[in-house]
Structure 1
Amino acid sequence: MSFLTINGGLLALLIILVLFSAFFSMTETVFASVSEAKIKNYVEERKTGAKKALFCVEHFDRTLTTLLVGNNIVNTALSTFALTFFMGFIRTGNLELISTAIITIVLLIFGEITPKTIGKKYNDKLVLFLAPIIYVISYILLPISIIFMGIQKIFTGKKNNDSQVNESELETILDTMVEDGEIEDDEHEYIKNVFDLNDRTVEEIMVPRVDMVAIEDTTSIDEVKNIFIREQYSRIPVYHEDKDHIIGIIYERDFFEAMAKNIELKNVKQLMRNVLFVNKKMTVDALIKTLQESKTHMAIVSGEYNDTLGLVTMEDALEEIVGEIYDEHDEGSVKQKLITKINDNTYMVDGDMFVSDMFEEIGLGEAPEGASKLSTWMFESQEDLPKIGDKMTYISCFTDQNENGEYEDYAKKIVLEIVEVDDRRIETVKVTVDDATEEEVEQFEESKEDE
């Protein structure tokens, strides 16, 4: 057998081993990155190879061990035969070093980087093709894999809790799914809003006491009818003497059904249903569960001294996920714009806008703790009933990125002026933002300490 024949055979063997290395590397990336949900869809669609792909993903530890064992066997053989191959060409004492360098470069380019890039990009297409092959190889290498998995359990334990995904990791996965086109932007927004339910409290989404429509238990039946027609609410709280003593809720449906059946109503108490009270610090996700368990759609929000702070509905909670919900009583079909920019430092803001949303929209750092809607925040800061022209000033100190991407400290003076009031309710506020001086910051901090 000639020299050329031997080296030609070795070269062919080396190429085959590099291809095997690329195969194992690409397959590892495919199974590590492919969505299990997508594979389950393939199973439901009865696509060829889907069941074996699902088996490999559900038993990923076994699959990964098989791939790593196979890849290491191939790479070890590649290094050994490469040394023999280069002995026929290189006559120097640095043969092993040169052989190792060449094989390392070849493996990095053709055995790792390129196949893994391809595997990541086309994982959902390749998984059905690769799964049957890996399924067979996993049984061939099963004796060796069992030994390695046993060693792994000794050092890592039987259960691996690292597979649990936290919220930030899940948000990253969702962002990737949006980029890959697996979910739509609005679906992504809904899911992220669900994460926020545990961070938002009832106090932030409630209808404040000043905006509550409620009726006294002595209100005449005719007046109750007029209130339902005028306000167009499906449920109205009933109080005794004042709003701190809510005693029930009357439903529009119950009221008009009674009138249609000519039932003689002497007072609203005849139609009252039980009322649910919730604490202002309850989270929105807990509120949804409580309303579901109570089979009701409205709750009264109580303060520390059992005083009435406002009311909250299931609709308010669900709007935190899907945005504004319109029913048959809502006017218009487009959500009113809550903030309008007049110039670089002046804005007109609707009283219904959350203070946190306003701060985020304008870029004012963190909103003051406990502030919910703008109208409520300003109402609570006023000593008297709110009127047009009333002002309040707030200083916000925060750190943010400038136009060059560098972090910089900011101090903003926020002047809020009431420009529209309707029956004691603050409808519109003019917000003016300027840089705050050191003296203004000091004075503001001192005033907060005095409070």
Structure 2
Amino acid sequence: MTLTQSLLVIVLLIATSAFFSLAEICLAASRRLRLRQMADEGDLRAERVLRVQEQPGHYFTVVQIGLNAVAILGGVVGEGSLSPYFARIFVLWFSPETAQGAAFAASFVTIIAVFLVFADLFPKRLGMNDPERIAVRMVGPMQVLITTFKPMVWLFTRSTDLLFKLLGIPAHRAETITSADILAMTEAGARAGVLAAREQQVIANVFELDTRLVNSVMTSRDRIAWFQKDDPEVVLRARIVAEPFSAYPICDGDIDHVLGYVDAKDMFQRVLSSQPLALDQGVPLHKALVVFDRLSLTEVLEQFRQAKEDFAIVVNEYSLVVGVITLNDVMSTVMGDLVGPQDEEQQIVQRDENSWLMDGVTPIQDVLRALDIDGLPHGDQYETLAGFLMVMLRRVPKKTDCVSSMGYTFEVMDVDSHRIDQVMVTRATASA
């Protein structure tokens, strides 16, 4: 065989190996969601790729037969065709025996390098760029090869299936998709510029609803504005002006005996129409939805949907009122500062690059997000920043008490009747 003929054979073998490498990587990298979308749009080839992905044994058997056969032939042809020419060069400086060994090594390295670049690395990187589009083009030729080499494929596939069975390894690909998978995809999309950072954060917040409890976003008991059932109109007006909310619980004696609630819109309409505002003179009293304080926000959303309400009383296991929650509170968790009042009573205020002033009732998830950390010690024992400080100190904190954790210092700045009002959070490295 002349050098030209040998080089043509090597080029053909490289092209064949590149074909099998491309077929292998594009099937493995193809996303089922994207293939299903292409199939729904009418691409029958995408449906064939999906079927192959469900049982890829025969497909990968043909790939490995082709790759191994080409690798062996490439080594034989390459070594036999290139060694004499390398030997003629090396014999100018070395003895014939040394030149022969060096020629073999040079031809071996050359063939390996050429195959590695053009038959492996390049086609695999090409296949990773757009795996679904390439997979639908490769599936037809590959199925022809599967049919052509069916006896050999059957033998090797059965042998592999037997080995899987002996080792107790599942032979089929698991297609479960978790929330972590979706979040990872959205983060990758944000890094690639496909999703805006705000959009990615909203998606992450939606998944957080399942793990975030009601008491992390509710208005706590000591901040509830409520009315006695027999409060005079002058008291109602003063309370509404001082504490404007969308709804007010109506109680009999104390806050733990809730009769219902009044909607601020109803009261506003009565004021505009010059009607009495007293509760015993026609102000509509709505039945209050009552939810347990250990429910997740997802469960609360479902209860809002079923009851067709957007306001609920939150009670603990002793049937004591611990807070109130609105649909807007839940949506504020999802949308962040796109929903909800923008006032001076923000729970987290960043003072500078390394310090934050936080309210004691700030949900711990918001604290973690503001500080860009994954968690704090004993995270299952509290829901708020105040709860974290109590767990760490093992007592009710006092003013100037400090806790250091995860590279941050948490200092109690103000306490009101055992309630932690403000906490100064400082990055520890900033003061070092």
TM-score, normalised to structure 2, is 0.73
- Between 208-217 and 168-177, the greater mean CA deviation after superposition: 168-177
1:444 matched to which residue of 2? Answer: none
Q: How does 1:3-402 map to 2 (within 5 A)?
A: 3-4=1-2, 8-43=4-39, 50-63=43-56, 65-80=58-73, 82-84=75-77, 86-87=79-80, 90=83, 103-123=111-131, 126-127=134-135, 129-134=137-142, 136-138=144-146, 140=148, 145=153, 155=164, 160=172, 162-220=174-232, 224=236, 231-253=243-265, 267=280, 271-326=284-339, 330=341, 338-341=348-351, 347-350=356-359, 353-355=362-364, 357-358=366-367, 361=370, 366=376, 369-372=381-384, 391-398=399-406
What is the DSSP-based 3-state SS (H/G/I as helix, E as strand, rest coil) of the residue aligned with 1:244?
Answer: coil
> Structure 1 stretches of 5 or more lacking a match?
401-409, 436-451
2:95 matched to which residue of 1? Answer: none
> Structure 2 stretches of 5 or more lacking a match?
85-99
Pair 340,413 (structure 1): closer, same or farther in 2 beyond 3 Å: closer
- Asked if the contact 1:354/1:372 (under 8 Å) is kept, the reply is yes
What is the DSSP-based 3-state SS (H/G/I as helix, E as strand, rest coil) of the residue aligned with 1:242?
Answer: coil
Shift of 1:349: 3.6
Pair 148,295 (structure 1): closer, same or farther in 2 beyond 3 Å: farther
Pair 55,182 (structure 1): closer, same or farther in 2 beyond 3 Å: farther
Residue 422 of structure 2 corresponds to residue 429 of structure 1: yes
Matched letter for residue 263 of structure 2 = Y
Equivalent-residue separation in structure 1 for 2:237 and 2:81 (angstroms) = 103
- Asked if the contact 1:341/1:347 (under 8 Å) is kept, the reply is yes
Equivalent-residue separation in structure 2 for 1:110 and 1:343 (angstroms) = 50
- Between 298-307 and 350-359, the greater mean CA deviation after superposition: 350-359
What is the DSSP-based 3-state SS (H/G/I as helix, E as strand, rest coil) of the residue aligned with 1:396?
Answer: strand
1:18-61 deviations in Å (ceiling 9; x for gaps): 21211221232223223333344445666xxx430343035314
Number of aligned residue pairs: give it: 403
1:138-188 deviations in Å (ceiling 9; x for gaps): 555566556655555553577747432444444333333333344332232
Shift of 1:324: 3.0
Equivalent-residue separation in structure 1 for 2:376 and 2:121 (angstroms) = 43
- Asked if the contact 2:357/2:422 (under 8 Å) is kept, the reply is yes
- Asked if the contact 2:16/2:70 (under 8 Å) is kept, the reply is no
2:90 matched to which residue of 1? Answer: none
1:417 counterpart (402, 414, 417): 414
- Asked if the contact 1:14/1:82 (under 8 Å) is kept, the reply is no
- Asked if the contact 1:208/1:309 (under 8 Å) is kept, the reply is yes
Give the RMSD, CA atoms, in angstroms.
4.6
Equivalent-residue separation in structure 1 for 2:153 and 2:276 (angstroms) = 79
TM-score, normalised to structure 1, is 0.70
